[in-house]
Amino acid sequence: MRVRPAPPDWLIHPLRGVWGTGGPVPWGAVVRGALGVGPVVAAGAASGHTSAGVTAGIGAMFAHINDRPATRATRVVRIGLPALAGAVGMLTGAWLGTLGLGAAIVGALAAVGLFSGALSAVGPVCSAAGVQLMVLCVVGVGMPLPEPPAARAGLVLTGAVWVITMAALLPRAARLFRRRPVARSDAGEAVAAVYDALAGLLAAVGTEGGRPARRRLTTAYDTAYEALYAHRLPLHRPDVRARALRDRLAVAGALSEAALTLLWEDAPLPDDLARTPARLARSIRTGRPPGPLPAPVPDTAGKVAVHRAVLLAARVFDGEPAPAVGPVGPGLRQRLRRASGAAGREYAARVALCVGVSTALARELPGDHWYWLPATAAFLVKPDMGPLFSRAVSRALGTAVGVTVFGALAALLGPVAGVPGVWPVAVAALCSALIPVSVRHFALQTAVLTPLLLSLVYLGGDTDPGYTRLRDTLLACGVVLAAGALPGLGGPRAQVSVRLSLAVRATRDHLDRVLAADTRYPERLRLRREAYRALADARRAVAVSGAEHPPFGRDLAVWAPVVSALEEIVDTATACGVRLDQGAAAPDPELVTRLRTALSDLADAVAARRPPTDLALPVGGAVADCATLADVTAGLRRARQLASS
């Protein structure tokens, strides 16, 4: 029977979810969405200040886009920092609009694009801030509004503050109507999910599902650390609940170290012992004690580690503090280096080019409302929304659907006696409520945001049904695709090389501290988390880049085995650390130096996009006395060979 070849990944990628999967509907976010943009715009229209309501509605809309599951303190930063950047963008754009720059506005917006692109390279929250800065700067220049620049910026912040306030007050109001307290929270559920993933890893030891289970554990860890440590307010102090969750996350680190040692030993536990993390997850969710915890007979290094971790879990879940691990992630210096480094400069150049070209093109087209084209280009150029071809296709399809729906409503309900009416407010409220569900696919999100934006500009006086917006969107897609074909503009190769070089360096630092005799356990735990986090980022970058349209993605998917080899090195180094804790002989310092040098050279080679140097590594009997180091050396040799080829 003839087997049909599978379609290329770049062609079918638009049919898959880009920003996540299915799962339950986030009803809390849906309620906040329904009470966000619509009431703000309605209040402005009812008071006779429709343009002010529209501007505040734009701020609320962006706040809903950034409103993801998080703790209250984390949500303030995730929404507030991009909102502050958006207010600065609106202020800058409105001020530029008062200068009458004419054709020089192209260069001015391109300069803002340079700063926006560099800011976006720092991290996920700064990426949202950079996009909001650029988009609202374009809107501030091109959208005719009567308010002065400072008032427009304040209205954008007002809309965001309204969403943050609802996020803080609505859960408390809901608890007043519950008959009993509920112990669950976003952060608590995230920590419980780590224990669920640990149970899955212990059950998968000795099977082919061990490595995928370990990756699922990494994803759960990243989410939990994001909820408990990332994007905190400077003066924020965790409450008793947050401190308890941090202690239990530290215990999960000890259990995961033991599970990884079992994975290296290929030694599964009995079912009743493997279910211990599931019992701890249930305790976090219910607030009840986990009860007696079974521990294995400590007859191997992995089982000794499990035994110690279970004893630690019993004490911590009984109220004792755990060893403090602290936050995981890049510091301020590393973040600044990302913005000023090669990746930040290249991406900044791409944003500036796309915004500048699209602005020049838009101003040559007929019509006064030219801002849609460069604003679309600024939003579309974001690399963390999936492969370039996929997001361009999704944007075009979503815009076509949204324009068609809004055009039909405008034809049926249109303005009465020159007054837009209330139906655009209802459209804005409905679409705002759908934003939390729409983030599961980029095309769906575009189809929801397009009628929302069109209803806002309709209320602002632009009664075009939106068909010219479809033309502008298609032109923006063409500009961004053309810019993606140019070398040296932060394309897929740059994304892969930067993420992978960071992952190699994190792997090196973890191995180096594991083999050092004076390393404190919390530091070792933190470095292992940092290594897995960097490797997960590298794997996502490889997966996204591998789905790019040829020739961009043709040879980038081959980096996936290199990431797998580095993951095995971190797994094996973890087992090595456990064995050293239990009295194994310390490795030869010369061997440690060779491994560190080889990893440093591999990181430099990946960053410079050159083959790694053929550094001599020990073979055979040189590491035969330490099975874990023999596996580390074999994994490093395989990673170098894959990178060279």
**Residue 99: φ, ψ to 5°:** -85, -15
Domain-located, residue 164 = yes
Domain-located, residue 327 = no
CA distance linking residue 376 with residue 370, whole number of Å = 11
pLDDT at 177 (0 to 100):
44
Q: Give 418: exposed, middle or buried? Use CB within 10 Å, 0-12, 13-18, 19+.
A: exposed
Chain segment 156-201, per-residue pLDDT in tens: 999 999 998 887 777 654 454 444 443 445 778 889 999 999 999 9
Paired strand residues for 416:
419
- pLDDT confidence tier of residue 18, bands split at 50, 70 and 90: very low
Closest CA to 241 of 276, 190, 293, 178: 190
Domain-located, residue 19 = no
Residues 533-546: what's their mean pLDDT? Answer: 84
Residue 341, SS3 per DSSP: coil
Q: What's the distance, CA 320 to chain centroid? A: 33
Domain-located, residue 4 = no
Question: Among the listed ranges 274-283, 484-493, 609-618, which one has the minimum average pLDDT value?
Answer: 484-493
Closest CA to 532 of 237, 220, 105, 74: 220
Query: Does one domain contain both 121 and 227?
Result: no
Residue 416, SS3 per DSSP: strand
101: pLDDT strictly greater than 70: yes
Chain segment 243-278, per-residue pLDDT in tens: 888 889 888 988 998 899 988 888 888 888 888 999
Q: Give 412: exposed, middle or buried? Use CB within 10 Å, 0-12, 13-18, 19+.
A: exposed
Q: What is the largest CA-CA distance in the chain?
A: 90
CA distance linking residue 339 with residue 333, whole number of Å = 10
pLDDT at 358 (0 to 100):
94
Residues 505-526: what's their mean pLDDT? Answer: 82
Query: Does one domain contain both 304 and 232?
Result: yes
Take residue 6 and report the two structure tokens written for it: 């599978």
* Sequence-distant (≥ 6) Cβ neighbours of residue 360 within 8 angstroms: 103, 106
Percent of residues, the chain, with pLDDT higher than 90: 23
Radius of gyration of the chain (CA): 27
Question: Among the listed ranges 222-236, 402-416, 526-540, which one has the minimum average pLDDT value?
Answer: 222-236
> Around 563, how many Cα atoms within 13 Å sit in the side-chain half-sphere?
25
Residue 301, SS3 per DSSP: helix
Would you call the peptide bond into 144 cis, given omega within 30 degrees of 0 as the criterion?
Answer: no
pLDDT at 96 (0 to 100):
92
CA distance linking residue 37 with residue 41, whole number of Å = 6
Domain boundary among 436, 458, 484: 484
User: Would residue 145 be called left, alpha or beta, if left means φ above 0 and alpha means ψ between -120 and 50 degrees?
Assistant: beta
CA distance linking residue 430 with residue 446, whole number of Å = 14
Domain-located, residue 324 = no
Domain boundary among 452, 484, 516: 484
Helix ranges (DSSP H) in 317-422: 332-340, 342-364, 372-380, 388-413
Angle CA(42)–CA(396)–CA(486) in degrees, nearest 5? 125
81: pLDDT strictly greater than 50: yes
Of residues 121 and 3, the one with the higher pLDDT is 121
Chain segment 398-456, per-residue pLDDT in tens: 999 999 999 888 888 876 545 566 888 999 999 999 998 887 788 888 999 999 999 99
Closest CA to 305 of 522, 581, 570: 581
> Around 356, how many Cα atoms within 13 Å sit in the side-chain half-sphere?
16
pLDDT at 21 (0 to 100):
45
The answer to whether 224 and 191 are in contact (CB under 8 A) is yes
CA distance linking residue 491 with residue 485, whole number of Å = 8
Listing DSSP states for 563-600 in one string gives: HHHHHHHHHHHHHHHHHHHTTPPPPPHHHHHHHHHHHH
Query: Does one domain contain both 505 and 621?
Result: yes
Query: Does one domain contain both 636 and 580?
Result: yes
Domain-located, residue 204 = yes
At 69, the amino acid letter reads P
At 503, the amino acid letter reads A
Q: Give 151: exposed, middle or buried? Use CB within 10 Å, 0-12, 13-18, 19+.
A: middle
Helix then strand then coil, in percent of the chain rounded to 5, is 70, 0, 30
DSSP-derived letter for residue 163 is H
Query: Does one domain contain both 497 and 638?
Result: yes
Of residues 465 and 1, the one with the higher pLDDT is 465
Query: Does one domain contain both 477 and 496?
Result: no
17: pLDDT strictly greater than 60: no
Question: Among the listed ranges 156-160, 247-251, 322-326, 497-501, which one has the minimum average pLDDT value?
Answer: 322-326
Note down the domain range covering 367: 25-173+332-484
CA distance linking residue 143 with residue 241, whole number of Å = 46
Residues 586-593: what's their mean pLDDT? Answer: 80
CA distance linking residue 427 with residue 42, whole number of Å = 11
Domain-located, residue 400 = yes
pLDDT at 174 (0 to 100):
47
525: pLDDT strictly greater than 50: yes
Query: Does one domain contain both 206 and 81?
Result: no
Of residues 276 and 616, the one with the higher pLDDT is 276
**Residue 416: φ, ψ to 5°:** -110, 120
Domain boundary among 316, 348, 372: 316
**Residue 555: φ, ψ to 5°:** -115, 10
- pLDDT confidence tier of residue 619, bands split at 50, 70 and 90: low
Crossing angle of helices 105-120 and 72-97, rounded to 10°: 160
- Alpha-carbon torsion (479, 480, 484, 486), positive or negative: positive
Closest CA to 183 of 253, 255, 227, 245: 245
Percent of residues, the chain, with pLDDT higher than 70: 83
Q: How far is CA 568 from CA 407, 511, 574, in A?
A: 55, 12, 10
Listing DSSP states for 187-205 in one string gives: HHHHHHHHHHHHHHHHHHT
Query: Does one domain contain both 31 and 169?
Result: yes
Buried b / exposed e along 546-581 (16+ C-beta atoms within 10 A): bbbbeebbeebbebebbbbbbbbbbbbbbbbbbbbb
Take residue 231 and report the two structure tokens written for it: 């994007």
Residues 271-299: what's their mean pLDDT? Answer: 88
Crossing angle of helices 50-65 and 124-142, rounded to 10°: 160
pLDDT at 517 (0 to 100):
67
At 330, the amino acid letter reads P
CA distance linking residue 408 with residue 398, whole number of Å = 16
The answer to whether 241 and 312 are in contact (CB under 8 A) is no
- Please state the three-class secondary structure of 464-517 as a single string: CCCHHHHHHHHHHHHHHHHHHCCCCCCCHHHHHHHHHHHHHHHHHHHHHHHCCC
- pLDDT confidence tier of residue 19, bands split at 50, 70 and 90: very low
CA distance linking residue 4 with residue 509, whole number of Å = 46
Of residues 76 and 353, the one with the higher pLDDT is 353
Q: To the nearest whole number, what is the mean pLDDT of the chain?
A: 82
Q: What's the distance, CA 266 to chain centroid? A: 33
Query: Does one domain contain both 308 and 209?
Result: yes
Take residue 250 and report the two structure tokens written for it: 């530290």
Domain-located, residue 147 = yes
Query: Does one domain contain both 336 and 442?
Result: yes
Query: Does one domain contain both 347 and 474?
Result: yes
Take residue 643 and report the two structure tokens written for it: 């990178």
Cβ atoms < 10 Å from Cβ of 397:
16
Q: Give 31: exposed, middle or buried? Use CB within 10 Å, 0-12, 13-18, 19+.
A: middle
Residue 66, SS3 per DSSP: coil
What's the number of domains the chain is made of?
Answer: 3
Q: Report the predicted TM-score, pTM, of the whole model to 2 decimal places.
A: 0.83
Query: Does one domain contain both 75 and 154?
Result: yes
DSSP-derived letter for residue 555 is T
- pLDDT confidence tier of residue 628, bands split at 50, 70 and 90: confident
Angle CA(507)–CA(513)–CA(519) in degrees, nearest 5? 150
Of residues 152 and 637, the one with the higher pLDDT is 152
Take residue 419 and report the two structure tokens written for it: 């007054």
pLDDT at 1 (0 to 100):
45
pLDDT at 465 (0 to 100):
62
